[in-house]
Amino acid sequence: MLDSLPRRHLLGAAAATTLASLAAPLARAAEGWQTATLPLARQLDLKSTITGQHYRIFVAMPSGAAPAAGHPVLYALDGNATFPTLALMARSASVRSRMTGQTPPVIVGIGYAGDQPYSSARGRDYTPPTGKAGPATEGGADLFLDFIEKELKPLVATLAPLDPARQALYGHSYGGLCTLHALFTRPVMFQTYLAASPSIWYGERAVLAGMDGFAKRLAALPSKPSLMLAVGELEQPTTNGAALEGRQAIAARRRMVDEARELAERLQADPALARVRFHLLPHENHGSAMFPAMARGLEFFLA
């Protein structure tokens, strides 16, 4: 025991000397940190004259030249949260395009000014009218879709040639609800609709009212849109006969999995749409389902 003390002192002194020698280089290195950026990405803050809302628009462009028909383009709601992942997925698609034959898309993230991943303003922008009097913070989806169609799309078109026949909308949760509302009420606005964990329960399932006459409207179109629905298997708790409380009880009433599956089955039984795909995402909850749904959605869009 006594023989080990000098060795401990020597090791401690050596460690102290090493740390002292690293202190200055580490301090200099710490001063060199910079804000991380995404390659080939840009952003712009703008105020919509239609909604009166301030938006932060993110755009990622493919590195290669545009195809003859123009770039496909995917518009993603909750852009502060979804854009970084989708931009990197699109960049990977660009790198592998010769092998896969997929045309890499432009990614447009529609977010809000600020550094938070989500804004309370989404509650107004993404929810459809319910036919009942409600707070001013809800029910503004139609104005928001007008903003995309009349203000945002022309702005993005100034950046690169875009293919008007290959445009998609992606949304998760309330964003998925808005995506379904766009499909049912404006089926020519996009060719592909990607609804992840859509909040079909909102307003006593008000979004499904848009399906009245939906097939007839589609029949008059020269080409039919496609829909991907995805939901995490853990978004709807199983009761097993036991009473649920709190958030679990709310989740059970909302029937996220059943509502998405039943809607997919209903639309798959009607040939009005070009394609309908349903994904039950294993081991995913409402928050985590967003990421595999983006991967499935981008693949569905580019296929």
CA angle 259, 260, 266 (to 5 degrees): 90
Catalytic site residue from 235, 259, 279, 284: 235
Q: What is the C-alpha to C-alpha distance for residues 139 and 131, in angstroms, rounded to an integer?
A: 9
Pairing state between β 106-111 and 71-77: parallel
For residue 33, the one-letter residue type is: W
DSSP 35: -
Distance of alpha carbon 18 from the chain centroid: 48
Burial of residue 89 (CB within 10 Å: 0-12, 13-18, 19+) is buried
For residue 219, the one-letter residue type is: A
Whether 173 is catalytic is yes
41: CB partners within 8 A, 6+ apart: 58, 59, 60, 83, 87
Catalytic site residue from 71, 172, 181, 286: 286
Transcribe 259-302 into DSSP letters. Answer: HHHHHHHHHHTSTTSSEEEEEEETT--TTTTHHHHHHHHHHHHH
Distance of alpha carbon 266 from the chain centroid: 24
Catalytic site residue from 48, 94, 119, 173: 173
Whether 204 is catalytic is no
Q: What is the C-alpha to C-alpha distance for residues 275 and 290, in angstroms, rounded to an integer?
A: 21
Nearest to 301 by CA among 74, 31, 21: 74
- CA contacts within 13 A on the Cβ side of 109: 28
Whether 92 is catalytic is no
Which sequence positions are flagged as catalytic? 173, 235, 286
